[in-house]
Structure 1
Amino acid sequence: MESAVEKVKTMEANFGGTEILAPLRDIFGKACKPGYPRQLFVFTDGEVGNTIQVIDEVKTNSSSHRCFTFGIGEGASTALIKGMAKAGTGHFQFVSGKDRMQLKVMQSLRFALQPAVTNISLNWHPPGGMEVAPISETPLVVFNGQRTVLYAQLKGKADENAVGCASLHYTLCDKEYKAEIHFGLKHDKHCRLTAHRLAAKSLMKGMEDKERPGSEGGDESIKKKIIEISTEARVISTHTAFIAINKEKNEAIQGPMVKRRIPFAGFNSMAFCSGAPMMMACAMPRRAKARPPQPKMRFQKQCDFYSRMPDVCAEIEMIPERTDPLLNLVSLQNADGSWNLEKGLMTLFSKTEKEVLQKMPVEIKDKSVWATFLALLWLHGFNSHQKDEWEFVALKAVSWIKAQTSLNPKLCLQAGNDLLGCQVDLQTLAL
């Protein structure tokens, strides 16, 4: 770990373009250590020209690892970040604006360390005369705190009073579970099309993921099917765009654009143009190839009926290590979970070496025990609002302290609270 930390300190963000495929192949070409499942964390602030190949490489090796991805900043490729995580049955995170990267990483680390739901299968038992066509792909894994929505299409004819059944099978901690739900077929007169459109979006997303740039024949048929579904369901896709329609004449609005500025929370203004008082939006096939995403923009211009959104710039809050006390404390922790009683640690506590040693109980013979106890008190007493970031750090320290013999936690607690000026109990410290 120390070698890795020292290596990171010498790195600079000047490696040129984003190259992910070669490092992935190098990683996958090495055998995993027995008893240690491979957990792959990928950080990137850009995009690659071979997204499909990268995702396919992760999917090919998905049986031997889980892949967790992090997109940093507005320029990170959504398709790459989500695609790799999905192919590697992992989890993705985006770090933008003033997000703290540490919090996002720790969230994914929790997913990597906890048991997950696996061997998921959804079985349909429709009434006679009907069949079920799955629209969504059943996930390979679901982590704690996550949810997944699956869509399916019922086809055929059956009595409206008939009842169908869907059964879900899955495994958690080597134990198999089963859940069932029954559903009726009676038509709801007040049913809206929201669920149908969400299902159409899910179906198109699956088709878009299968498209391969440069292939012949197959891609055109997929594109044609996507356009058909998009225009029928009125849900936008990668091959369609919304245009303004005059509802009275049922015609696309022609003529020069008229710009109107509408106040919008989060932006100075948003421009929208129209040519008629009454309009509706309709998904139509794009006549020209879509423009690539513009840098520093949240929204992409889709067609000439929309004027360009103002640039939205978001700077990632990269706090230098020397100005973040929490990161400083973490960097001083040893690999076994302890801390040494060194100058950097006492500077964090705003105490002199003399003050720290005067308060150390005489029963403690190892200064590292005292330093580790103080570090735990400092975390709980002054950084409880960032517990999600340092929780694993504290667990490791507690495990190390419990392994020490002839230690009186109560004496250490009282002396430590007096020295640091906090009020923490042993229950809070898990001691």
Structure 2
Amino acid sequence: MMSVAYNEETAKQAEQLSYSMQADFGGTELLDPLRYLKDNPPANDRSRQIFILTDGEVSNTNEVIELCHLMSSTTRIFTFGLGHSPSRSLVKGLARVTNGYFVFIPPGEKVDTYVGSQLRRALKPSIVNTHLEWHGLSSRVVQSPNVIPPLYADDRVLIYTMFENDEFDQQTVQVNFRVRCKTIDSTKFALDDIHRKGDTIRRLAAKAMIQQLQHMKQNDATV
């Protein structure tokens, strides 16, 4: 399997191929093609976006979602639930673990509008290979997600960072947002301001890190 440039000729080839396909396998099989994608990540400095359309269910929803979570540092998935009975947990789960988007298309509705809205999101510019650089901390920070996924225009990504409690003795710290070796943005703030905000952020960070450790453990078990 290889990528080809989009033009009038390749579009016609894709259209002809779609006419030759038959949905006669008796079920929805996602795991094998997604494994292929995981084993063949995009080139460096590139992000990858996948469109998945389904009108049914799979017998291994959790395994499929977990596999896609392992690709979330390079890949974003847009899902479409078609018809009367698509698996809502599958359609929502694949999009959520990869920072993508999902839509459900009711029976009899034209898909053009829904596909168009998803495509507009997918065509937004992105940056990859980003990281946070901390200054003014004496101990190593723990971050979740440990690898920042591709960042897209007008989208939000939450990144939690935890450090030792005695760091609050420091007056201010600085964090730089970097792409490779270039600093894109920088900000300074007082740690004491965070300390006074209570436990809500800490609990959210702890939950994110526990989930990250669980995903890592499950990945090790399947290797």
Matched-pair contact (CA < 8 Å) for 2:38–2:71: no
1:163 counterpart = 2:172: yes
The structure 2 residue matched to 1:44, chosen from 50, 54, 75, is 54
Determine helix, strand or coil for the equivalent of 2:159. Answer: coil
Q: For 2:152, which of 139, 143, 156 is the aligned residue?
A: 143
Distance 1:104 1:199, change over 3 A: farther
Q: 2:101 aligns with which of 81, 93, 105?
A: 93
The Cα of 1:117 is off from its aligned counterpart by: 1.4
Q: In 2, distance between residues paired with 1:29 and 1:148? A: 25
If asked which structure has higher relative contact order (CA below 8 Å, sep 6+), I would say: 2
C-alpha separation in 2, matches of 1:214 and 1:188: 35
Alignment CA distance shift 1:11-1:182 (3 Å): same
What residue ranges of structure 1 are gaps of 5+ in the alignment? Answer: 217-431
Partner of 1:106: 116
Is 1:120 the equivalent of 2:133?
A: no
SS at match of 1:18: coil
Q: Which amino acid aligns with 1:47?
A: V
8 Å contact from structure 2 (residues 66, 215) kept in 1: no
**Residues 65, 93 of structure 2: 8 Å contact kept:** no
Structure 1 residue 159, shift from structure 2 partner: 6.3
**Residue 29 and residue 154 in structure 1: after superposition, are their counterparts in 2 closer, same or farther (change >3 A)?**
closer
Match of 1:201 in 2: 207
* 1:265-306 deviations in Å (ceiling 9; x for gaps): xxxxxxxxxxxxxxxxxxxxxxxxxxxxxxxxxxxxxxxxxx
Deviations along 1:369-424, whole A, 9 cap, x unmatched? xxxxxxxxxxxxxxxxxxxxxxxxxxxxxxxxxxxxxxxxxxxxxxxxxxxxxxxx
Where does structure 1 differ by over 6 angstroms across 4 or more consecutive aligned residues? 25-30
Assess if the C-alpha contact under 8 Å between 2:128 and 2:149 holds in 1: yes
| CA distance in structure 1 between the partners assigned to 2:48 and 2:166 by the alignment | 48
Secondary structure of 2:116's counterpart equals: helix
What do residues 56-86 of structure 1 show as CA deviations (whole Å, max 9, x unaligned)?
8x849x5xxx553314144341444444xx3
Contact 1:125 1:164 in 2 (8 A): yes
Contact 1:123–1:168 (Cα < 8 Å) also in 2:
yes
Residues 42, 67 of structure 1: 8 Å contact kept: no
CA contact (8 A) 2:129 2:179 kept: yes
Which structure: larger Rg? 1
CA distance in 1, matches of 2:202, 2:37: 42
Cα displacement (A) at 1:122: 0.5
When normalised by structure 2's length, the TM-score is 0.64
CA distance in 2, matches of 1:153, 1:8: 49
2: distance between equivalents of 1:138 and 1:19? 29
Runs of at least 5 residues in structure 2 that lack an aligned partner in the other structure: 1-10
**Count of residue pairs brought into register by the alignment:** 197
The alpha-carbon distance between structure 1 residues 38 and 14, as it changes in their structure 2 partners (threshold 3 A), is same
Give runs of aligned pairs for residues 251-270 of structure 1, distance below 5 A: none
Q: CA deviation at 1:26?
A: 6.9
**Matches of residues 373-384 of structure 1 in structure 2 within 5 Å?**
none
Matches within 5 A, 1:182-331: 182-186=188-192, 191-212=197-218, 215=221
Quick one: distance in 1 between partners of 2:199 and 2:38? Answer: 45
Counterpart AA for 2:27: G
Q: 1:95 to 1:15 in 2, by over 3 A?
A: farther
Q: Equivalents in 1 of 2:39, 2:214: separation in Å? A: 30
Instruction: Please report how far the alpha carbon of residue 114 of structure 1 lies from its aligned counterpart in structure 2 after TM superposition.
Output: 4.1
User: What is the CA-CA distance between 1:153 and the residue it aligns to?
Assistant: 1.0
Paired residue for 2:184?
178
Contact 1:170 1:178 in 2 (8 A): yes
Q: Secondary structure at the match of 2:192?
A: coil
Alpha carbons 1:122, 1:168 under 8 Å: kept: yes
Q: Distance in 2 between matches of 1:52 and 1:186?
A: 39
Q: 1:22 to 1:38 in 2, by over 3 A?
A: same
Q: Secondary structure at the match of 1:212?
A: helix
Give, as a single letter, the amino acid of the residue that structure 2 aligns with 1:94. F
- CA 1:94–1:164: 2 relative to 1, 3 Å: same
